[in-house]
A = this chain, B = another copy of it.
Amino acid sequence: MGERADVVVVGAGLSGLCAARKLRAQGASVIVVEARDRVGGRTRTEQIGQGTFDLGGQWIGPGQKRLHALADELGIETFPTYTKGKKVLEVEGKISTYKRSIPSMSVPNLIQMQGALSYLKRVRKKISPTGPMTAEGAEALDGETLETWRSRFVKSSKISAAMDAAIRAIFGAEARDLSALYFLMYLNAGGGLLSLAEARGGAQQDRFVPGAQSISSALAKELGDALALGLPVRRLTQSGDGVDAVTDAQTIGGRFAIVTAPPMLAGRIEYEPPVSVGRDQVTQRFAMGAAVKVLVTYERAFWREAGFSGEVVSSDGPLSVVYDNTSHDGRQPALVGLVVGSQARQWSAQPLSDRQHRVAGALKRYFGEEAGSFQEYRELDWGAEPWSRGGPVGGGNGMDRLHGRRDSIG
């Protein structure tokens, strides 16, 4: 009761733990308060079979320099995602394989795909991740969905379907759920659609040897007893003296507070005095995507033997993307897939046996009969995690998220 520090940080995910670390480096005292009984937020590492695996965020791309630097400092090593061999593309019931970035397609489709990608690149480069509303035409782009915007330059249903699979995997949402502006801003921040969707040279390029949650665990260790787990902050009360973070069990005081929960969860905290109407409206419009991570382990990496990298992009689902997920030392072969977007919203409502059956069916389509014989089947529905309510990211689902943000600055 009555613990106090210079700053109370709400949330012990990567943002909260990094904020705490930086503040402490500047000499401030900090207490981090976390709702879960663990640190790491949307990262979660577990021992499964003979390997260490992530049931949450797990990859790091070449553009994520700050996370690379942090991992280096903490002595956490990375290793490359396996990408040798053929990739699989499944669109509208048809499976094809390819080797480079661009799938094998009919020549007209290939030309349209290349055209679409280069148009995307040209437009996204104009949308600053730090000030998207200042771009020319930003209002119009934010006033329409990615679905209608795209329909003006992608006419082939095959190409839209393939793009949809990547969009689902990146946002946990459908093209109809995203404002075109939000999509382009995110693309620009992440180096483009291919870069966000790809393993080699892209956002899925590397993995952490001890799992992604190890970063948060190492940061938590530095914090020592300045970290309180299992304490959802219900109310933040600000007065002349500072801020009180009220939990069911105790109240933690600070001169300042930093809330690192995603906007939608931050909106479920009570504020006294209340936050501005503009801010509250943003939290109402910053929905989390829907994402279920599915991990299957095998005795042998039979797909590698058959010349597959393990990479799949599918418009048909239930897995929109699949990657090789074999453990670092090679001892535990595994594949990982994502059920994302509207399919994820109803995934857990189906019986486990049906879910397993559908995943097995999909993997068999891509890699043959052997893919149906898992050692273990594990999944985590991030929408069912009370302190995440979805994933991989939030926002962009309400058209006026950015308007809301702009308004709330006033």
Contacts and interface: CB of A to CB of B under 8 A. Distances in A.
B144 A403 contact: no
Interface of A: 142-145, 147-148, 173-177, 234, 264, 267-268, 270, 274, 276-278, 280-281, 284-285, 287-288, 290, 342, 344-350, 381, 383-384, 386, 389-390, 397-400, 403-404, 407-408, 410
A278 B277 CA distance: 27
B276 A142 contact: no
Q: How many copies does the complex hold?
A: 2
A270 B278 CA distance: 24
Given A264-B284, A408-B345, A410-B349, A398 B274 contact: no
B345 A278 contact: yes
Contacts of A285: 287, 397-398
A404 B345 contact: yes
Nearest to A343: B407
Give the one of A147, A268, A381, A410 with max B CB within 10 A. Answer: A147
A64 to B, nearest CB: 27
Contacts of A281: 287-288, 290, 345, 383, 389-390
Contacts of A386: 270, 274
A287 B398 CA distance: 8
Contacts of A345: 277-278, 281, 403-404, 407-408
